[in-house]
Amino acid sequence: MPAPAPAPMPEPAPATKAPDDRPWWRRFLSLLVVAGLLIFKFGKAALLLLPKAKVLTTSATMLVSIAAYSLLWGWKFAAGFVALLLVHEMGHVIQLRREGIEASAPMFIPFLGAAVMAKSLGNDATAEARVGLAGPILGTLGCLALMPLALSGAGGGFWEALVFTGLFLNLFNLLPVVPLDGGRAMAALSPWMWFVGLFVMVVVTFALPNPIMILILLLAAYETYRRWKARKAGGEAIASYYKVKPAHRLAILAVYLGLIVVCAGGMALTFVERSIPS
């Protein structure tokens, strides 16, 4: 009689990875920190290569951004929002080239906006203010061009929402903190306002915490520290950079305040109150 076959040994259960119980925003923030460290380490090379990389042309990054925003708002609104971003960034590009500074085409970064690569922002604070305000100027004009559609009620609220969001984008960029456009204007008006803008950013970030606001706050804190430290170090070149003629300062202030009034007024006209079902 043959010996009984040994009972089969049970196979070990496959190892399972412990679930990550951290909130989604903490996981996303961790990714942003890692990305920031990589950018800090390889940033110089990246700035040289980005404008030349064929896969990261303006049209390609626009399509990536549209696809990303479509996950939140649908492709039609995402396309309109990215188009308004493009108009805003082209204001910077046009003014940089008017200042005689070579500038790249806009590069779009999903959920962070867009950026233009340039070696400098001008020879002095007045030129920096012109470059900074050129984005909100053209961006606001792009929104105002859509205002007739928004006020006509066409699209069932689509155009109102698009114009409102575009104007909010330009208004947010006017916060008086570097590296936002309003901080560029403050370089010519009153660099002390950088600290006011930084305080506002801290309040807003604590009131509405999210990874994007935290990242912007960190960038603003670093840039404010870096620039204020350079100013305190003094030197003839620094003093000359921040020397602004009174007439230029008055013109910059008028444009800055005018943009705030126009953006806030346009948002009031296109605001649509929506009820959230309980």
* pLDDT tens per residue across span 56-85: 567 888 899 999 999 988 999 999 999 999
Residue 19 in domain: no
Residue 13 in domain: no
Number of domains making up the chain? 1
Residue from 141, 167, 146 nearest 268 by CA: 167
Residue 12 in domain: no
Residue 97 in domain: yes
Contact 264, 171 (CB under 8 A): yes
Residue 18 in domain: no
Cβ atoms < 10 Å from Cβ of 238: 14
158 is in which domain, residue-wise?
53-270
Residue 38 in domain: no
Residue 29 in domain: no
User: From CA 80, how far away is CA 85, in angstroms rounded?
Assistant: 9
Per-residue pLDDT at 218: 93
Residue 35 in domain: no
- Which residue stretches of the chain are H helix? 24-49, 58-73, 75-98, 125-145, 147-152, 158-172, 181-189, 193-207, 211-233, 236-241, 246-270
Q: Which stretches of the chain score pLDDT less than 50?
A: 1-19, 25, 38-39, 42-44, 46-47, 50-51, 54-55, 275-278
